[in-house]
Structure 1
Amino acid sequence: MPTTALALARVRDAYDRIDRARRPDIWITLRPRADAESDARAVDARVAAGEQLPLAGRTVAVKGNIDIDGLPTTAGCPSYAYDPPADAPSVARLRAAGAVVLGSTNMDQFATGLVGTRSPYGAVRSAHDPARIAGGSSSGSAVAVALGIADLALGTDTAGSGRVPAAFNGIVGIKPTRGLVPTDGVVPACASLDCVSVFARTLPEAELALALIATPPGRAAPHRTPGPWRVAVPPAEQLGAMDEGWAEAYEAAADRLAAAGARLSPVDLTPFTEAAALLYDGAFVAERYTATGAFVDKETNDLDPTVAAIIRRARDIPAHRLFADQTRLAVLRARAMTALAEADALLLPTTPGHPTLDDVAADPFGANARLGRFTNSTNLFDLAAVAVPAGEVDARPFGVMLIGPAGTDDRLARIAALLTPPVRLAVVGVHLTGQPLNPQLLTLGARLIRTTTTAPAYRLFALRTDPPKPGLVHVDSGGRHIEAEIWELPPEGLGTLTAALPRPMAIGRLELADGTTAPGFLCEPAALDDAVDITEHGGWRAYRNS
């Protein structure tokens, strides 16, 4: 595919992935394929004419409370829908940089929740475990990125909505300094606290998107003295109850930072958790009634009952409680800032656990409150944050976040880069050592870990492509061990490979001879109609040498 058609190829791939995923819960309004392809052709034409478009060939999904020109803005409530006069600035800036918008994504109604289930458009399920929630309120945006449908996505973050779904779906979520990204064209949850957030599969991609949508900051990052990164870490007993294995995963993340040269120091987490409780249990929730209360009072039949209850309850909070809570918050913030005075960042688990859909249905308020234990205080304290994957627990993503003073967005990303563990990739064909595409791996910073074989559950085919390449397929019977190499590379490297991977190739999970699994190259069965079965050779190199 010529480079001048990169955007069109990516858009077509995105819609093919949408068809294969069969996840209508992700979307509120999906743009017609023809419209997105028309935008992609325009992007390709601009590139061919010599324009430098940093996001050419990237697709973007947009949370349902952010204006997209030509699509209704619903905020997760059909009867609230309106036709926006223009793109929100964040959307317009992504489009100007060459990104193609796919559609409006599902969300907790009126951005009120951290669960992703409070929507008349359906509960959004995790990209990795359909029994568990995707996290909210920016649920659809996060899952669209995690499934490889969108390269980037916009969400919002008031209480953690740009970080919780990132953690549950194994992607990056940046909650910038308040005011860094315009909130014009965004249906507010709490207008004084809201932020537009960014999702991506890798930290560099998320940083690029943020740089393109941000307004030049009016606040400089606080001065720091030279030396190792200083990261505050609370004592284990202050983290409270966590899901099994999560405390150990968090400790492992802290250990990785220390091994990378960061200097860890203890911090009192109490002011953070006490402030977190104020966001919903205190008077600050009254701002949600200011945003959408008049509409909720109309009692339309598509209101989510939990969301409506939260907003209506906020209507009757007396003014004196708000002033008392503001005073209390000022005291807590002063204590928190004092605790972080000598630190560049605070390391926390993004959430204390990952509930199932049944857990949330049984206790919607309690489950949501638990998820905000570590995230709720960030905007109340006017802090910046970045959430990144930090491994797995029971084969599900585990995530942590780094939090720091306003204006330290770049600094937090630099520290977060130390946390991102390398990923493994199993290769069986033209990326093997000595083969034509092996330099791709080396350029991405990959290193060979070992040579092994797959489990005896695969067959290998020579595809009729130029250059020649193999196709590996999983079979229920008649499979054999196939030679494989295991490489280790940065997560962003795997993201780059995945984004550029042409059909019929795909990244899937390969079973290895030792019983473990690793991401690896597989082939769509439809491509095998005119391919040659070369399984008997035991590997691509042996076949080529024959």
Structure 2
Amino acid sequence: MPVFADLHGGYRTGALRPSDVVAETYRRIKERGDDGVWITLRQEADVQADLARLDPALPLYGVPFAVKDNIDVAGMPTTAACPAFAYRPGRTAPLVERLLAAGALLVGKTNLDQFATGLSGSRSPYGACESPLVPGLISGGSSSGSAVAVAAGLVPFAIGTDTAGSGRVPAALTGTVGLKPSRGLVPSLGILPACASLDCASVFAASVGDALAVLRLIAGPHPDDPWSRALPLGRPGSGPRRVGVPRAAGFHGDGPAEAAFAGVVERLEQLGHTTVPVDLAPFLAAGSLLYEGPWVAERLAGVGDFVRRHPHDLHPVTREVLSTGEGVSGVDVFRGLRRLQELRAAVAPVWAEIDALMVPTVPTTFTLAEMAEDPVGRNSVLGHYTTFANLLDLAAVAVPGGLTTSGRPHGVTFLAPAGADGLLAGLAAGFTGERLDGPAEVPYEPPAVSGTAEAEAGGRVVLAVVGAHRTGQPLHPHLAALGAVCAGLTRTAPVYRMYDLGDRPGLVREAGGGTVEVELHELAPAALGELLVTIPAPLGLGTLELADGRRVHGFLCESYAVASARDITAYASWPAYLAARHA
């Protein structure tokens, strides 16, 4: 299956037709037969009908994709790989809405380790996925079906989730790219909680560039999601970095995997990066808290009532793992939180010495038969280098690292603190030999609201959004479809008044005004022009002054239209006003 650039290039020249791509997708799925990838597959005719309604100018026009079956899609069952648990949601997860608004075509929902509890891909009544790379090898989990759908060339990208490594372990075992965003960067609303405080969506793709393109479209906070937060993506750069590597990496006796990782470190140095030995002890200690500490109770919190009522409807290993959460006390929770805070403090100084950390994604690999012999113990082995990421608030990108001398896949993961997603994408792309779109050299900066000069230096402009185009609001999909990327929240200078125009706010510059919250987005100048012609009077685009003195493009309202409108400046933000109005 061609990657995004090949697809869109083929569509533009006529060498490919989107309808033929859809038909080829279904032909390949049929050809593979019962491979354990799909739980619910949509009818080809329905996907073709979706295609016929799309604007060819959309950024993901005609790109098929799949979604892990613990993510809600209205009208389709969400099973979490437990048939007795299945329900039909009335609302689609915002991250899926954003992909559909961008022109992507949903093919179906994929298999997973039941309730997203497991890293092997073999804990599902819908079958165990097998890696397309080695017969009999596990695919990794819990996002097993999503990873295999990409690795087998069924879809160009797929959405998974990642709480303990579910977006990275399958990437290593299937030879795909697994991008785990900063926690909260992508809304988790509509994702069945596995461990709500740690959950995040993940992206599987054949290349870092494709994964990053998807992330750009699904990133941004959602007002109904208490776990989402405004974080910058950062920009990918290709210059030399200080990359931490384990001072003493463990491979559980897998000599070929150890040799493969040594080769990866050497390759990293040949690319011009400086490797820095890092003591992983505090990282690994944090990771052990996920299953040996109180967070296993948070896993039970999401589905505990069902588990207690239907114990025999669960996969035996899933039941065994979740049952341990029953014994966690309130005291245990606070002890665990304190221990995690101590480990976060121990890890913090490391980031002053390195820009990113590189680890083996998994220490070793297992066949389906080997996994069945010790499903819990070997699951723990698979998560050795992954379980600490979300507990320590790190972003990650997992990429293939070639094959070991024993013929098994080897992968590595690049990690850095939340907000460094762009840096990691650039580092991972350079490692795999990709060249990402956009400026080659942009240094990473700590999380902060993007500035006008910086955005324009990258060929993009900054737009301040007040109301209906904000993330989670009715017109946001239009903005996302233009390729806009959220760059955080800020406030205007204290010279504006906000009025209720019914379905949207009107912002007017007036003497004696106040400050109003705005959401910043970066987008291409051409996209800004496309947006302009869709804005109905009395609204329009003008120059908006921010509290820090910067001037950006923004939505403004003509003064005549607010003569009889309600002044809502005191609420200071449109979402806050809506919440009060509907209370």
TM-score using structure 2 length: 0.69
Looking at structure 2, the residues matched to 360 and 100 of structure 1 have their Cα atoms a distance apart, in angstroms, of 34
CA 1:7–1:347: 2 relative to 1, 3 Å? same
- 141-150 or 291-300, which moves further after superposition? 291-300
Q: Is the 8 A contact 1:127 1:147 kept in 2?
A: yes
- Rounded to whole Å, the distance in 2 between the matches of 1:122 and 1:130 is 15
Q: SS state of the match for residue 245, structure 1?
A: helix
Give per-residue Cα distances to partners, 1:423-447, cap 9 Å, x unaligned.
xxxxxxxxxxxxxxxxxxxxxxxxx
* Among candidates 377, 402, 411, match of residue 399 of structure 1: 411
Q: Secondary structure of 1:55's match?
A: coil
**Residue 305 of structure 1: CA displacement?**
0.9
- 1:61 equivalenced with 2:61 (yes/no): no
Q: d(CA) in 2 for partners of 1:347 and 1:231?
A: 7
Could you tell me which residue of structure 2 aligns to residue 256 of structure 1? Answer: 267
CA contact (8 A) 1:14 1:150 kept: yes
**Alignment CA distance shift 1:130-1:225 (3 Å):** closer
Determine whether 1:132 maps to 2:137: yes
* Secondary structure of the corresponding residue to residue 36 of structure 2: helix
Whether 1:177 aligns to 2:182 is: yes
Give the corresponding residue for 1:200: 205
Match of 1:32? Answer: 43
The 2-side partners of 1:180 and 1:2 are apart by: 31
Shift of the 396–22 alpha-carbon distance from structure 1 to 2, 3 Å rule, reads farther
**Deviation for aligned residue 1:2:** 6.5
Residue in structure 2 matched with residue 514 of structure 1 by the alignment: none
d(CA) in 2 for partners of 1:200, 1:83: 27
CA distance in 1, matches of 2:123, 2:366: 14
Contact kept in structure 2, 1:232 and 1:340, CA below 8 Å: no
What aligned pairs does 1:74-473 form with structure 2 within 5 A after superposition? 74-215=79-220, 218-220=230-232, 228-235=240-247, 237-299=248-310, 301-393=312-404, 394-420=406-432
Give the aligned residue type for 1:83.
Answer: R
Identity among equivalent pairs (%): 47
2:236 and 2:422 in contact (8 A); partners too: no
Q: Deviations over 1:347-388 (max 9, x none)?
A: 000000111111111101101000110000000001100000
Q: C-alpha separation between the residues in 2 aligned to 1:224 and 1:417? A: 9
| 1:316 Cα deviation from its structure 2 partner | 1.9
Compute the RMSD of aligned alpha carbons: 2.1
Give the deviation of 1:125 after TM superposition: 1.1
> Distance in 2 between the 1:225 and 1:68 partners?
35
1:421–1:220 distance in 2 versus 1, CA, 3 Å: closer
Aligned to 1:41: 52
Give the direction of change, closer, same or farther, for the CA distance of 1:222–1:89 in structure 2 (3 Å limit).
closer
In 1: Cα distance, 2:277 partner to 2:82 partner: 44
The one-letter amino acid of 2:308's match is D
Q: Cα deviation per residue 1:129-188 (whole Å; 9 max; x = unaligned)?
A: 231110000000000000110111000000000000011000000000011000111100
Match of 1:440 in 2: none
Distance 1:240 1:354, change over 3 A: closer
Partners of 1:37 and 1:224 in 2: how far apart? 35
Please show how residues 446-525 of structure 1 align to structure 2 within 5 Å.
none
2:433 & 2:242 partners in 1: Cα distance?
19
Check the 8 A contact 2:237/2:426 in 1, yes or no.
no
Partner of 2:444: none
Deviation at 1:228, TM superposition (A): 2.8
- Give the equivalent residue in structure 2 for 1:482: none
Work out the number of aligned pairs and report it: 415
Q: Kindly tell me: are residues 144 and 240 of structure 1, through their superposed partners in 2, closer, same or farther at Cα, counting changes over 3 Å? A: closer
1:33-73: CA deviation from partner (whole Å, max 9, x where unpaired): 21112112223xx22xxxx2111131101001001122100
Q: How far apart, in 1, do the equivalents of 2:82 and 2:158 lie? A: 20
Query: For the residues of structure 2 that align with 1:35 and 1:65, how far apart are their CA atoms?
Result: 22
Deviation, 1:239, is 2.5
Contact 1:267–1:340 under 8 Å retained in 2: no
Task: Report the residue type matching 1:41 in the other structure.
Answer: A
Task: Note the C-alpha offset of 1:310.
Answer: 1.3
Corresponding residue of 1:520: none
C-alpha displacement of 1:300: 5.0
Quickly say closer, same or farther: Cα 1:261–1:180, change in 2 above 3 A. Answer: same
Contact 1:157 1:195 (8 Å CA) reproduced: yes
2: distance between equivalents of 1:14 and 1:414? 30
Relative to the length of structure 1, the TM-score reads: 0.73
Say whether the 8 Å CA contact 1:157–1:194 is kept in structure 2.
yes
Q: How many Å apart are 1:266 and its aligned residue?
A: 1.0
Residue identity opposite 1:390 in structure 2:
G
What are the Cα deviations for residues 181-219 of structure 1, in whole angstroms up to 9, with x where unaligned? Answer: 001111000000000000000110000001111116624
Q: 1:224 to 1:105 in 2, by over 3 A?
A: closer
The offset of 1:397, in angstroms, is 2.2
The alpha-carbon deviation at position 221 of structure 1 amounts to: 7.6
Cα distance change on mapping 1:223 and 1:327 into 2, 3 Å: farther
Aligned with 1:232: secondary structure?
Answer: strand
- 8 Å contact from structure 1 (residues 64, 107) kept in 2: yes
Does structure 1 retain, via aligned residues, the 8 Å contact 2:251–2:257? Answer: no
For 1:270, the aligned partner's letter is A
Match in the other structure for 1:469: none
Which amino acid in the other structure matches residue 353 of structure 1?
A: T
> Which range moved further: 270-279 or 407-416?
270-279
- 2: distance between equivalents of 1:280 and 1:129? 29
Match for residue 556 of structure 2? none
